[in-house]
Amino acid sequence: MTPRLPDCRACGRDALALVLSLGRTPLANALLTREQLNEPEPRYALDLAFCRACSLVQITETVPPAELFREYSYFSSVSETMVRHAETLVERVIRERQLCARSLVVELGSNDGYLLQFYRRRGIPVLGIDPAENVAREASARGIPTIAEFFGLDLARRLNQEGKRADVIHAHNVLAHVADLNGVVEGIASILAPAGTAIVEVPYLKDLLDRCEFDTIYHEHLCYFSLTALDRLVRRHGLRVRDVERIPIHGGSLRLWLGSEGAAVEPEVSRLLAEEQASGLDQLATYASFGGRVEALKVALGETLRQLKRGGHRLAAYGAAAKGSTLLNYVGIGKETLDYVVDRSPHKQGRFMPGVHLPISPTERLLEDMPDDVLLLTWNFADEIFEQQKAYRARGGRFIIPVPEVKVA
């Protein structure tokens, strides 16, 4: 008998349909110390489902947030792309919203202060909120006041009592991570100043489907958003999508500008909603072929790596990211194929990838060791990484890009 799927995280309806199973996998960001290699590793079902009632795509199992986020290995400032992305947006927001020393900017999931630092440099008051105590400490040390808590309705009410109403709220790659979607959106609505704006960025579901980005599915990412699902979600809490943009970051994302009810809505919102309907993003049939394409990609990547290995090639990987963990564990790529993974973050170096136990080294090892081919796990930062690794490529090193199709560059 097939187990009953849970109710939808957004609308609460019993309307979920399973569209893809990636098996039981370890937590994608649970990098291991050497001492942990012989200890049992928790694994959880990684199943993707579609809500036939509100169109939200989501995974079916919720890992307790404290297991995922209290100590976090991802520091946004490590990525030059992320920092440039943040700086450009901040300059735009300051100009368009005419922010000043009397304004307040709040960021949910503020990480190490990579974005808020640019407001602070311009003399604009900021407040970061991030549950990961290690990255919150890093942000505070950089002069970014940060609350190390999970954001939700309780914290929002506390901030309201303290008189904190935000002129701008940033929530970049946050909504996908929260189990209590309604509590977070209600919290945003409650601390947003009457004329304020909330800027929300989420990886875009249509790009995930079109580009077969299955490796962006992991336990931290509970939800995968279309504008259709987001519009239905925020409307339940008195907010409106005022404007929307498609942006290239993270393999394709949406940037939403939210305001209170009655706010003017740009034509792009209606246009993209109509485009999604025409594409069938609100129909279960659209997802029927996705699992088959993922399986075909799994087979193609595995065969490519095996052929290179049989040909005597030495292989490594670049990027100890969560998406890399999903890809390695689902495809079944471990020590029999790869020698190691490299990553720029000193917080990851010296640890081991979940499940497959590949050691993580500094990126300098590529030039020292010169493996023939490097599997690019962080393909969403390909341009930045190719620029960083010009010397490796000039000496004949090659990168294997796994999605949307396997190719060597």
Q: Kindly state the average pLDDT of the residues 176-203.
A: 96
Tell whether 323 and 375 lie within a shared domain. yes
Mean pLDDT of 357-362: 98
Same domain as 306, residue 245 = no
Are 243 and 101 part of one and the same domain? yes
Same domain flag for 368 and 226: no
How many CB atoms sit inside 10 A of residue 348's CB? 24
Evaluate whether residue 377 is within a structural domain: yes
pLDDT tens per residue across span 334-356: 999 999 999 999 989 999 999 99
- Same domain, yes or no: 254 and 299: no
Which amino acid is present at 175?
Answer: L
The answer to whether residue 305 sits within a structural domain is yes
DSSP string, 127-139: EEE-S-HHHHHHH
Residues 365 and 323 in one domain: yes
Let me know if residue 321 belongs to a domain.
yes
What is the structure's pLDDT at 1?
Answer: 45
* Bridge partners, residue 107, by sequence: 128, 170
In a domain, 282, yes or no: no
What's the mean pLDDT when you consider all of the chain?
A: 94
| 3: confidence class by pLDDT, cuts 50, 70, 90 | low
Q: Which amino acid is at 125?
A: P
Interval 85-90 mean pLDDT: 95
Whichever domain contains 349, its CATH number is 3.40.50.720
> Could you tell me if residue 241 is inside a domain?
yes
How far is 129 from 197, CA to CA, in rounded Å?
17
CATH no. for residue 147?
A: 3.40.50.150
Q: Which residue has the higher pLDDT, 286 or 75?
A: 286
> Mean pLDDT across the stretch 28-41?
94
Cα separations (Å) of 135 from 75, 178, 349?
7, 18, 17
295 and 370 share a domain?
Answer: yes
How confident is residue 71, by pLDDT bands cut at 50, 70 and 90?
Answer: low
Same domain, yes or no, for 86 and 235? yes
CB 335 within 8 A of CB 357: yes
| 116 and 231 share one domain | yes
Interatomic CA distance for residues 87 and 54, integer angstroms:
34
Q: Best-predicted range by mean pLDDT among 70-79, 245-254, 299-308?
A: 299-308
State pTM to two decimals.
0.89
User: Among residues 211, 245, 260, which one ends one of the domains?
Assistant: 260
| Mean pLDDT calculated for residue range 186-213 | 96
Domain boundaries, position 214? 76-260
Residues 115-140: what's their mean pLDDT?
94
21-34 in b/e form (b: 16+ CB < 10 A) is ebeebbbbbbbbee
Does residue 311 share a domain with residue 162? Answer: no
Same domain, 84 and 193: yes
Provide the pLDDT for residue 313: 98
Query: Residue 240: inside a domain, yes or no?
Result: yes
C-alpha atoms less than 13 angstroms from C-alpha of 145 in its C-beta half-sphere: 8
Last residue of a domain, one of 219, 239, 260: 260
Residue 50 belongs to some domain of the structure: no
Cβ pair 374, 366 in contact under 8 A: yes
Convert the pLDDT of each residue in 281-327 to its tens digit. 999 989 878 888 999 999 999 999 999 999 999 999 999 999 999 99
Number of domains in the chain: 2
Residue 73: what pLDDT? 58
Is 251 domain-assigned? yes
Asked if residue 144 and residue 218 are part of one domain, the reply reads yes
Angle between helices 153-161 and 181-191 (to 10 degrees): 20
